[in-house]
Structure 1
Amino acid sequence: MNSREYSAPMNQPAVTEFVIIPPADMRESIILAAERLQAWLEVAFPGHRFRLETRWAFNDGAFRAIPIMSAGGNGDAIIICETPSPDLIAAISKACGEFDPRPTSAS
């Protein structure tokens, strides 16, 4: 194989974790509702986990779902995950936009 060729390893694990970046105008309310958002997403997308980015935000009004593509393995090994489908990333971002961060009233 020359230096310009690359072959992805077979049987790559699927991405199971995403970082959610809220839009700037919702940042504070989303941070206050972080646990509810994470739980809501985990119900909507079983088998996936979500982390909320609390320091950065985008100014365009849209949520971002960023896949965590690698993890450390045994020793110096790095495990690279299979790229998730654009449809999954879009569905997660859309679901975040549908989440209502307002506090729920206890009944």
Structure 2
Amino acid sequence: MPYASGTPVLQKDPSADLDYGIDLANPNIWPPAPPWLVTGEIVTELTVTADAGLTVNSQSINANASGVAGALLIAWVSGGVSGTSYYLHFLFTTNLGRTDTRSIQIQCIQR
């Protein structure tokens, strides 16, 4: 799967269990663009997958820090091998029937 050059790259230790999120309503956080959601639109379905070797322990749809409901997509992730890069994919659907995917690259490094 080709990835845009703007795909964010985050780091994690292989032994860490961390949360990663994407805010679809806040242009000041990832993605660095205008809000993806339109007024009154919320994410209603979310599926998060990861490349083999990385484990998605849970996923959720939340309000963001500004209180916009259904805008913040969260995945708790564990595993990985130091020196290896993985992709985490957030596939979502909104109450308006729109679907899209956002991805995050995770580089595992020993800390």
Give the TM-score normalised by the residue count of structure 2: 0.31
More strand by proportion, 1 or 2? 2
TM-score calculated relative to the size of structure 1: 0.31
Q: Which has the larger radius of gyration?
A: 1
**Greater share of helix:** 1
